[in-house]
Amino acid sequence: MEFIDLHAHSILSCGVDTQSRMLFNAKRLGVTLGLCDGVEGKCRTGIEISAKNKSKLKSSISNSSNFDYVVINGGDEHINRLATSDKRVDILAHPDAGRKDPGVDSFVAEQAHKNGVAIEVNLRNLVLTKGNRRVNALKNVARTLKLSRKYGFDIIVTSGAKSRLELRSGDGVFQLLKLLGFEEVEAEAAMVFVPQRILDNNFRGAL
């Protein structure tokens, strides 16, 4: 199963492995990898933006045109809403960070659908959490999936990997998504069609 993973980090940002090692392991797994290092690299490169208010968010987005895709680090209600209201944003990551709910209400869902902003399901969050936090994370995935079916916004699945050992094979991700309640067509869209759409929309030539 093909997997286009657009949210991983190398040592150039908050990861622990070099880009070369990340890309080598991704190739071994049959995964197309994009790195959110915020610097130009050896593959499709995104930027993950963390901002505390509207002005800083908009300024950071305006300065992100050199990258292949824009990821907003969410969680805060206002940031979630601002991110999904901006067509220049490709992915809202961690919408449930620091929250008990998925961070996706009707407004966020409608804006994400309207503006083509994909809502992330980050597998690292599921793998590394334990106990009640994992239970809550699983519930949030189920709620996000239900809202996606109702409002029509795209879900994108990512490994969230910060080392080569945290990268996931396409087959493994596909089976996990099915266990989480995704239909096969929904899993394939989250793994392949949505990330490919993002890359195609932001195509800047071969790297």
73 domain-assigned: yes
Q: Is residue 158 part of a domain?
A: yes
Where are any strands of DSSP class E within the chain? 3-8, 31-35, 46-49, 69-73, 91-93, 118-122, 155-158
For residue 4, the cross-strand partners are 32
Q: Minimal CA–CA distance to 143: which of 173, 172, 105, 171?
A: 105
Provide the 3-class DSSP secondary structure of residue 176: helix
**Does residue 98 lie within any of the structural domains?**
yes
Terminal-residue alpha carbon distance, the chain: 24
Mark residue 49 as left, alpha or beta (left: phi above 0; alpha: psi -120 to 50; beta: remaining): beta
- Band of the pLDDT at 58, cuts 50, 70, 90? very high
27-47 tens-digit pLDDT: 999 999 999 999 887 788 999
> Cα–Cα distances in Å, from 182 out to 86, 96, 141, 201?
27, 19, 10, 25
Tokens 């620091």 — which residue?
A: 98
Identify the residue whose tokens are 């709620």. Answer: 143
**Residue 122 included in any domain:** yes
| Number of domains within the chain | 1
Q: Assign residue 129 the CATH number of its domain.
A: 3.20.20.140
Beta bridge partners of 71: 48, 91
Over the stretch 88-141, which tens digit does the pLDDT of each residue have? 999 999 999 999 999 999 999 999 999 999 999 999 988 888 999 999 999 999
207 domain residue, yes or no: no
Inside any domain, residue 206: no
Structural domain containing residue 184: 3-201
- Residues 163 and 21: their CA atoms lie apart, in Å, by 9
What is the pLDDT of the chain when averaged over all its residues?
A: 94
